[in-house]
Structure 1
Amino acid sequence: MKKIFLFIALSALSGNALSSSLQDQLSAVAQAEQQGKAEEQKRHDDWVAERNKEIQQEKQRRANAAAAANKKAAAAAAERQARQDKLDAEAAKDKHRDQSYEDELRSLEIQKQKLALAKEEARVKRENEYIDQELKHKAAQTDVVQSEADANRNISEGGRDLMKSAGKAEENKSDSWFN
């Protein structure tokens, strides 16, 4: 493109070159060449500026996308953490409730054991009374058996005495004259 621009500039100058001096012609060519270089440099600078602007916009877009992704990831992490905290709190409540229940069961078991121990201690302290009661109960049973035996003996002796009396009465009756 530089060559085409240079050629056009030189052709335009060539018509003027006949009328001007060689020095003027050279300075016009140098000026045209300088102007072409300046325009080329301006186009290049504009292109570089546009490219830099696009690169900057792309960097900004990526930074915004990364920030949005980070924000979204942070929100998701916060939500996961909140769910985990909730689960942990529920687990802690369940654990506390289970521990309270187990403590209550242990307390009831200890109370039962204390009552059983107190009962046994009371029985040991009153063991002599229990022994006396058992002996009295056995003595009462022995008395009942003895009483039944005495009653049976008395009935037997009463029946024997009755029979003896009836036998004597029959003897007396047969010995008597007026029979």
Structure 2
Amino acid sequence: MTAALLARSQARMQLRAEHQRALREPRKSAYVAFAERWRSREDLLQQAWIELSLAAENRESSECENLLERASTLHSEATEMSVDLQHAEALVYVEGPGEVTNAAIGASRALVDLLMAVHGAVIAVQRGEVLGDRATTCEDAISAAHMKYLDFLHEASDALGGDVLQ
């Protein structure tokens, strides 16, 4: 009888572990898709900021207009990624749990703040204005976005690790 109870308990544990693994894969796919799209958009915005900073520092250079054009193009490409990122965020929302969803929303909001900061800086440089406070705003937005991204990664990792262990 003890052997039967032990076998039954082991079978339940095995089924639970298989069920958790089955839940883990779609979550992992959703989290990875979000992280990849988020990083791609952030990379474009950071590159736009670098180009823009160089343009602002070298206004008298013949390269200034090219740098500004590249910054504007990179910003536009990042803006066009909105739909893909929102779709990836929706997948995270569906898969959950709430902590990961909230972290994804926070990372997306921080990325929008960065997008807006770079946009404001692009407009300022196009108008011939000095970046001044806009430079600080962009640098702060880059840092804040990266911290929110790391929060998302930690929550996602915890959620995936928790699924395997429970």
TM-score category of the 2 structures, normalised to the smaller one: under 0.3
TM-score, length-normalised on structure 2?
A: 0.28
TM-score, length-normalised on structure 1?
A: 0.26
Higher percent of residues as helix: 1
Larger relative contact order, structure 1 or 2 (CA cutoff 8 Å, min sep 6): 2
